[in-house]
Structure 1
């Protein structure tokens, strides 16, 4: 048995992306952020849909159209494929734990 809360480092010099499972067009990923944001150089433009849930901490997802959504623990968001987006803020005072499902 494993826990999504296992092995969370107290310091994160870089954002951590870990696949939990990948099978037949579905991938579940754990993401750990601590004040990290997406690279300034561009937007995520993914082939698959992404459902994302914040389990700990907080983060803001910004969209190319200028809108944004800040997620706190328990809040989730579905991002359709090819919706250009990026993470513009994560909590600098604690680790933000995201669960992302790509389908």
Structure 2
């Protein structure tokens, strides 16, 4: 068995036309766990679009900033080091991400 390592801040795409998703690993436990790096460069969810996942999701902003809107009317502004847990069925959207620098997210998805 070989250990795997990486750096979340290495090879960060700058000025990409869309968000760039990089799966960092996936493990099978009682459910499936998937970890990915997301890099946003000023993107937001399209108007009227909501993420609505059956997975439990935990996101951490590594650098940059963003706001996540929840369909209950709340908005969470996140900066470097801030994290947010989105339970299954929590409808949410990215309201905005920093346009002056990349926003680097770490997302952990756990499916039943």
TM superposition score category, shorter chain reference: over 0.9
> Does the 8 Å contact 2:13/2:20 carry over to 1?
no
Identify the residue that residue 37 of structure 1 maps to in structure 2: 44
> Does the 8 Å contact 2:65/2:98 carry over to 1?
yes
Identify the residue that residue 13 of structure 1 maps to in structure 2: 17
Q: How big is the shift at 1:2?
A: 1.8
Task: Kindly tell me the number of residue pairs found equivalent between the two proteins.
Answer: 103
Pairing 1:61–2:68 present: yes
What is the alpha-carbon distance in structure 2 between the residues aligned to residue 51 and residue 3 of structure 1? Answer: 19
Q: How big is the shift at 1:10?
A: 2.5
TM-score, normalising length: structure 2: 0.88
TM-score, normalising length: structure 1: 0.95
**Alignment map for 1:1-103 (pairs within 5 Å):** 1-24=5-28, 25-103=32-110
Higher Cα radius of gyration: 2
How big is each residue's C-alpha offset from its partner over 1:41-93, in whole Å with a ceiling of 9 and x where there is no partner?
42000011100000000000001111010100001011101000000010010
Q: Which 4+ residue blocks in structure 1 deviate beyond 2 angstroms? A: none
Q: Structure 2 stretches of 5 or more lacking a match?
A: none
User: What secondary structure sits across from 1:27 in the alignment?
Assistant: strand
Query: CA RMSD of the aligned region, Å?
Result: 0.9
